[in-house]
Amino acid sequence: MEYGIILATQSEIRRNLLKNTGISFKTIKSDFDETQLQDALYGKICSLKDAQDLAKKLSFEKAKNVSGRYSGDLIIGCDQTLYFKKRILNKPVNYEESFEQLKYLSGENHKLITATTCVMESKQIWSYISVQDMQMRPLSDEYIKNYIREIGDNVLNILGAYEIEGKGINLFESIGDDLFSIQGISILQLIKFLRKVGYVE
């Protein structure tokens, strides 16, 4: 293959998940500023479709941003939204907000939406949206405080302030059926597409 695959992400978790497949790729950080798109719906009543559309748009824009600099390469963009009680929750901006989010989600069911999009020549050629039901167990204030203290600044980089691939799994009674998507990239569906278009065997 003359051209390569680029994963447009800063996420070490996504990078490692794709690396574990054996696929050859490089990682380039996207410079797309997602703030405006996120703020348009933040705190507002919205539908599940709105949350799905936002994740898909963000994943596309991240990949498109990189695609403009790497003509001919296939760019993979990913993003997630957390949908709860008809609202979208963004990543917490500080420890206080992470505490409030976990307290808000405690004992409740929310939906974690993951969009994985492939772009070439700044055009979408494939996209997949995963919606996972996440049931958090009831958590005491003390437990939440201890959890945040243990994982430290990582809590600020994660939707819902939980680290599912680490100690965050202890927060849940049950999670959806696609762990890869929950961790941030729909690997199984992505590989199926890459195989179909000849990037992997």
Residue 73 among the catalytic residues: no
Phi-psi region of 122 (alpha: psi -120 to 50; beta: other; left: phi over 0): left
pLDDT in tens, 155-182: 888 888 888 888 999 999 999 999 999 9
With a cut of 80, say whether residue 3 has pLDDT above it: no
Q: With a cut of 90, say whether residue 20 has pLDDT above it.
A: yes
For the cut 50, the answer to whether the pLDDT of residue 143 exceeds it is yes
Tokens 């004992």, residue located: 107
Mean pLDDT, rounded, of the chain: 93
Q: Which residues contact 8 (CB under 8 A, 6 or more apart)?
A: 27, 28, 29, 30, 62, 63, 65, 66, 75, 76, 77, 78
Please report the pLDDT score of residue 1 as a whole number. 40
Whether the Cβ atoms of residue 7 and residue 15 lie closer than 8 Å to each other: yes
pLDDT tens readout for residues 40-78? 887 789 999 999 999 999 999 999 999 999 989 999 999
- Backbone phi, psi, residue 74, to 5°: -90, 120
What's the pLDDT at 38? 83
Give per-residue pLDDT as tens, 114-136: 999 999 999 999 999 999 999 99
Catalytic residue among 79, 133, 177, 178: 79
CA distance 27 to 7: 5
